[in-house]
């Protein structure tokens, strides 16, 4: 990939905008555009190279071996951009540490309006499914993969004596179903929900739980857009979107006592505060900020 991005052909572009989570910021054209100002919107420096503890792709022996020269190349080419924008302060710190560059924080666009408005209707099957769910439950929703830590959502249900709904799909379905046996008949799995059903689940839930350490984390913002508070990790992007004590609870640890206390605290929060907070991350805010950044 680094070699591919260096040979993009001839162009007379006056400036270049790269959207990069691996090596797109290495982009180079021939012709007049070779000297064009390059702007990089960075989701993160390649995690399996710089932070293999966050990405298992970087844990193998071949990956560790190739990371040494790739780090050198990556850091060198990260000096080329005229300016860099990061998706969160969490990523900004990583860019500074790994690339030796400062950056501007511009949060990614979230379809806040799409979760506030009732633009999509539930199918008949989805309506029936929704009717079978308990009146009160904690919601976990994401891909079923290890770092999403959906097992902690089940732990929350056990600690707070709450029913649990887990929405999504992925390779850990079997493991999560086995984990659910610790909370008999209290955990429901909703596989591959549509946008409309996910929105309905956010609204119906007592709160949305988001345990992973993410670079940003769009789903907590979606939940707040529906007026639903969030319990999330105090580390990572969610700590920048969820307002502790106002639109959710941020946890340093996930012990049974802390989970139980968080479940009590989050029920005191106002839906209007959640919606107001979510608007700060709407697509319209992103469009304004990134246009201003490139324009300046």
Entry pTM: 0.92
pLDDT at 120 over 80: no
Let me know: does 104 contact 273? Beta carbons within 8 Å: no
Let me know: does 118 contact 136? Beta carbons within 8 Å: no
Give the separation between CA 108 and CA 217, rounded to whole angstroms.
9
Q: Estimate the crossing angle of helix 173-180 against helix 151-160, to 10 degrees.
A: 10
Place 180 in a pLDDT band, splitting at 50, 70 and 90: very high
Q: Which tens digit of pLDDT belongs to each residue from 209-268?
A: 999 999 999 999 999 999 999 999 999 999 999 999 999 999 999 999 999 999 999 999
Q: How many residues does the chain have?
A: 296
**Of the candidates 111, 89, 36, 101, the residue with the CA atom closest to the CA atom of residue 287:** 111
- What is the pLDDT at residue 200? 96
**Of the candidates 217, 226, 170, 174, the residue with the CA atom closest to the CA atom of residue 195:** 226
The residue whose two tokens read 């308990």 is 134
Q: Which tens digit of pLDDT belongs to each residue from 48-91?
A: 889 887 766 777 888 888 888 999 999 999 999 999 999 999 99
Structure tokens at 191: 């596989």
* Average model confidence (pLDDT) across the chain: 94
Indicate the pairing of strand 104-105 with strand 37-42.
unpaired
């Amino acid at each position: 990939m680094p070699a591919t991005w260096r040979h993009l052909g001839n162009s007379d572009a006056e400036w270049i905008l790269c959207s990069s989570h691996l090596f797109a910021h290495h982009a180079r054209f021939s012709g007049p555009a070779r000297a064009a100002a390059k702007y990089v919107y960075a989701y993160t420096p390649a995690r399996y190279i710089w932070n293999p503890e966050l990405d298992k792709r970087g844990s193998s022996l071949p990956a560790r071996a190739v990371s040494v020269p790739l780090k050198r190349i990556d850091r060198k080419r990260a000096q080329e951009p005229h300016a860099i924008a990061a998706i969160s302060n969490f990523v900004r710190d990583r860019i500074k540490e790994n690339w030796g560059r400062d950056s501007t924080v511009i949060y990614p666009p979230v379809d806040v309006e799409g979760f506030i408005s009732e633009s999509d209707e539930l199918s008949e099957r989805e309506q029936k499914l929704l009717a079978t769910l308990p009146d009160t439950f904690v919601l976990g929703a994401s891909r079923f993969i290890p770092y999403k830590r959906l097992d902690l959502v089940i732990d929350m249900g056990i600690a707070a004596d709450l029913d649990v709904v887990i929405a999504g799909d992925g390779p850990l379905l079997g493991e999560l179903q086995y984990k659910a046996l610790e909370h008999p008949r209290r955990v429901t799995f909703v596989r591959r929900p549509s946008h409309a059903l996910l929105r309905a689940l956010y609204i119906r839930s007592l709160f949305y739980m988001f345990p992973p350490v993410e670079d940003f984390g769009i789903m907590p913002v979606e939940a707040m857009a529906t007026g639903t508070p969030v319990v999330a990790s105090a580390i990572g992007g969610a700590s920048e979107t969820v307002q502790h004590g106002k639109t959710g609870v941020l946890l340093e640890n996930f012990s049974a006592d802390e989970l139980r206390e968080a479940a009590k605290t989050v029920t005191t929060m106002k839906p209007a505060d959640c919606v107001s907070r979510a608007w700060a991350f709407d697509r319209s805010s992103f469009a304004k900020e990134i246009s201003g950044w490139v324009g300046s």
